């Protein structure tokens, strides 16, 4: 039982209390992962069968790390725990139970690209405007509906949803959703949201299946519970209903994923679901200095809707938090790069000890340019992942067809790659024939003479025979040999090998790297099934965090704050702390949204171990226009006693020599006069209820009755205007000559948009 000796009293109590509902409120850096892993190990040490334990996480990496830690305590039994992401665990269950809801056990999992490709096909068939019905908008609408457990049928039958779509001028969204769902079903495919949506359908419609898994999972643990959406919440509640041995772990102060459906009320109101709940608060931060922890506390204290806790640190007091002001975003990048170089020289740090965090990806440009000029190596996280590269997706599409030839998105991707005379026209004929005869594209390809004539029939037959040969070989070969056979006989390896350009060599090397990864998988001894089909399931369920690699390389890390959650660095720069950037313009009209932005800032601050620097610029280019910027309200919310102001003087300044010194003096006086921040208690919150279906997307602007656009020659700078789609705004700049005058208009919640007045259809607001 040595593992208990290293826990503080609160951690130990949370580990040892294994019966009934438990909530562990884990502040940033409080040893959350240690508590989860030791709690699972403690269950096993007490005699609980590991097959009866379910642990749900949000990344495969988190699951892997936990399992490794548990195995150090309990040994090989750790392999028998049901542990993984929501999507991977319930995909595994659906493979077993799929036939009960009409799916094959070898169903394909569509990624976002597959889903959007299918949506674009549907839009084209329905002859809809792909600007009004943009694939991204349609995809997000369907995703939000599924996460709120609204089926296509319910969507079409809900008058409020239909009225909302009509107001958004997209009245056919429900029909697109219905068609999309039918196409996925016909193709034997589920998208990511379906893995949870269909699990809910399974548990709701099949009480015997629900009872089976309630008896199996007698102990449930959910990590990052504040990030769960309604669909996840419902599954967990159903599974825990029989024994109520449920433990959720999370921090409401780090709930930052509302944009993808996370509902902070799930953790805030957990006690309403379980009145006998025991709550354990992990409040000691082991990661950061006292100053960093106090700054984080002073920020999050401004949120009204939160759980009460008092995070503290016994680490060194540490440096004050530096706030650096630059004249432009380029100077901001320069000051950050120079600070990294100086700290490395003065303190003997490595590049990997530094991270630059920003609110939006576009902010990386100025940082990258400055780092390159000083020869500072860096890596951007959150870019194109390995498995999203074209050549990798092409070969994986062949793998998918091998195991599920009904997969229409895979068919469309590779039927003519490498080229075999089966272009877009042929694909359209195949798709039309399949729809006309109520069958699948694969059936048309397998029996082409029944649907098409001439040369094309022979080529389709050859393609079908090739895919069938892949399926036959996969039953005889392991994952690597199957993959190599497909890569060779599909023609992909030859196609890429003969391309001796730099790009061609890179694509060929990526295929080799994919095959290397499959070889490594095929030689693993910790899993029983090492087939290519299982490898395909694993990579289909990778999360963004799992796709990052080479994190031990000695490079400065650049990433959005959302990507940084769960990570920690000795030195952190949070850049772009300006109003309308951070907090985002989109968050300023709602307390709920603003509080989420503040939680995002809290997450950024608590990534830092030793040193934290906050920076902002007084001007920044947006849409090609140099715009004045104000410091973020978040800076003003920090207790000044923890701050140190640094102003970077521009080479040429019209502000006067003394203005910067005066600002620094003002900050110093504030710092000396203000005491410690207060910790606020949480406000009461509403009970957990099923989210209203009308809130799946924000409401679009509904034009004023009798909306009539003004002529282009009637507009002037500073005028208040109305746009049919973007709503009310103000003209901030006019440029050009009639009839080609271009207006820059600031719209609340959307920012600046550039419009040609002769096409813009703007109305002057009197």
- Is 363 in the active site? no
CA distance 399 to 482: 9
CA distance 204 to 201: 5
- Is 33 in the active site? yes
**588 contacts 594 by C-beta, under 8 angstroms:** yes
> Which long-range contacts does 443-448 make (Cβ < 8 Å, 24+ apart)?
445/411, 445/415
Please give the span between the terminal C-alpha atoms of the chain, in angstroms, as a whole number. Answer: 76
CA distance 337 to 332: 9
CA distance 333 to 591: 31
Per annotation, catalytic residue among 218, 379, 413, 607:
607
CA distance 378 to 25: 35
Q: Residues marked as binding?
A: 26-33
Structure tokens at 202: 């399974």
**281 contacts 592 by C-beta, under 8 angstroms:** no
Q: Residues marked as binding for ATP?
A: 26-33
Query: Cis omega before residue 515 (within 30°)?
Result: no
Q: Is 525 exposed, middle or buried (0-12, 13-18, 19+ CB in 10 A)?
A: exposed
Between strands 219-222 and 246-250, the pairing is parallel
Q: Which residues of 139-171 are buried (b: 16+ CB within 10 A; e: fewer)?
A: bebbbbbbbbbbebeebeebeebeebbeebebe
How far, rounded to the nearest angstrom, does the alpha carbon of residue 424 sit from its chain's CA centroid?
33
Taking alpha carbons only, the member of 126, 122, 292, 114 closest to residue 193 is: 114
- Is 548 in the active site? no
CA distance 405 to 578: 52
CA distance 85 to 66: 12
> What 3-state DSSP class applies to 687?
coil
- Is 598 in the active site? no
Count CA atoms closer than 13 A to 704's CA, side-chain side. 13
Structure tokens at 496: 């890429």
Per annotation, catalytic residue among 33, 162, 426, 543:
33
CA distance 538 to 536: 5
DSSP state of 585: G
Per annotation, catalytic residue among 97, 224, 252, 593:
224
CA distance 630 to 273: 44
Per annotation, catalytic residue among 164, 191, 223, 609:
223
**403 contacts 105 by C-beta, under 8 angstroms:** no
- Is 146 in the active site? no
- Is 224 in the active site? yes
Query: Cis omega before residue 465 (within 30°)?
Result: no
Which sequence positions are flagged as catalytic? 32-33, 223-224, 254, 607
């Amino acid at each position: 039982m040595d593992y208990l000796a290293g826990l503080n009293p609160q951690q130990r109590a949370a580990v040892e209390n294994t019966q009934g509902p438990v909530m562990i409120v884990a502040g940033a850096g409080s040893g959350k992962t240690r508590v989860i892993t030791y709690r699972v190990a403690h269950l096993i040490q007490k005699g609980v069968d590991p097959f009866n334990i379910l642990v749900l996480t949000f990344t495969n990496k988190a699951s892997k790390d936990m399992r490794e830690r548990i195995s150090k305590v309990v040994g090989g039994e750790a392999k028998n725990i049901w542990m993984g992401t929501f999507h991977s665990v319930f995909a595994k269950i659906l493979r077993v139970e799929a036939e009960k809801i009409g799916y094959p056990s070898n169903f394909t999992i569509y990624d976002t690209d597959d889903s959007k490709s299918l949506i674009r096909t549907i839009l084209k068939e329905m002859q809809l405007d792909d600007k009004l019905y943009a694939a991204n908008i349609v995809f997000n609408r369907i995703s939000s509906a599924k996460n709120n457990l609204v089926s296509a049928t319910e969507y079409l039958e809900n008058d409020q949803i239909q009225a909302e779509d009509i107001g958004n001028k997209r009245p056919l969204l429900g029909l697109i959703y219905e068609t999309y769902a039918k196409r996925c079903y016909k193709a034997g495919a589920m998208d990511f949201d379906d893995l949870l949506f269909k699990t809910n359908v399974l548990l709701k419609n099949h009480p015997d299946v629900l009872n089976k898994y309630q008896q199996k999972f007698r102990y449930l643990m959910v990590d990052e519970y504040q990030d769960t959406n309604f669909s996840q919440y419902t599954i967990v509640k159903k599974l825990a209903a029989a024994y109520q041995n449920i433990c959720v772990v999370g921090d409401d102060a780090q709930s930052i994923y509302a944009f993808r459906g996370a509902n902070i009320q799930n953790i805030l109101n957990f006690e309403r679901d379980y009145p006998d709940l025991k709550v354990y608060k992990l409040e000691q931060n082991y990661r950061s200095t006292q100053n960093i922890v106090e700054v984080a506390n002073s920020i999050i204290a401004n949120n009204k809707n939160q759980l009460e806790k008092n995070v503290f640190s016994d680490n060194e007091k540490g440096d004050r938090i530096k706030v650096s002001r630059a004249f432009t975003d380029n100077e901001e990048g320069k000051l950050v790069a120079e600070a990294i170089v100086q700290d490395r020289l003065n303190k003997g740090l490595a590049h990997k000890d530094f991270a630059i965090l920003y609110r939006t990806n576009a902010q990386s440009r100025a940082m990258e340019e400055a780092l390159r000029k000083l020869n500072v190596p860096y890596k951007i996280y959150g870019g194109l992942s390995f498995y999203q590269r074209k050549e990798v997706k092409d070969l994986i599409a062949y793998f998918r067809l091998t195991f599920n030839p009904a997969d229409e998105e895979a068919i469309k991707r590779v039927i003519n790659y490498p080229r075999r005379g089966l272009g877009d026209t042929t694909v359209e004929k195949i798709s039309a024939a399949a729809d006309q005869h109520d069958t699948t594209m694969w059936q048309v390809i397998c029996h082409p003479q029944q649907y098409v004539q001439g040369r094309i029939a022979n080529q389709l037959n050859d393609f079908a025979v090739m895919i069938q040969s892949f399926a036959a070989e996969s039953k005889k070969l392991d994952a690597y040999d199957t993959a190599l056979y497909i890569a060779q006989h599909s023609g992909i390896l030859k196609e890429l090998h003969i391309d001796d350009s730099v790009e061609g060599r890179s694509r060929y090397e990526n295929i080799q790297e994919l095959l290397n990864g499959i070889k490594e998988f095929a030689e693993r001894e910790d899993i029983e099934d090492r087939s290519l089909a299982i490898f395909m399931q694993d990579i289909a369920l990778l999360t963004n965090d799992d796709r990052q690699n080479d994190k031990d390389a000695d490079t400065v890390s650049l990433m959005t704050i959302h990507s940084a959650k769960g990570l920690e660095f000795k030195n952190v720069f949070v850049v772009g702390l300006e109003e309308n950037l951070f907090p985002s313009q989109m968050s300023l009209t709602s307390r709920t949204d603003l509080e989420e932005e503040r939680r995002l800032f809290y997450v950024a601050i608590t990534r830092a171990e030793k040193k934290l620097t906050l920076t902002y610029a007084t001007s920044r280019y947006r849409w090609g226009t140099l715009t004045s910027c104000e410091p973020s309200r978040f800076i003003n919310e920090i207790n000044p006693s923890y701050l140190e102001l640094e102003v970077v003087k521009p080479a040429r300044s019209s502000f006067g020599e003394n203005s910067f010194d005066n600002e620094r003096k003002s900050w110093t006086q504030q710092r000396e006069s203000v005491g410690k921040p207060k910790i606020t208690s949480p406000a009461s919150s509403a009970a957990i209820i099923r989210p209203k279906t009308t809130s799946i997307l924000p409401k679009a602007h509904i034009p004023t009755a009798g909306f009539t656009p003004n002529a282009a020659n009637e507009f002037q700078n500073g005028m208040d205007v109305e746009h049919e789609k973007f709503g009310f705004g103000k003209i901030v700049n006019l440029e050009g000559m009639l009839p080609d005058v271009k207006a820059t208009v600031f719209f609340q919640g959307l920012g600046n948009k550039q419009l040609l007045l002769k096409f813009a259809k703007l109305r002057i607001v009197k």
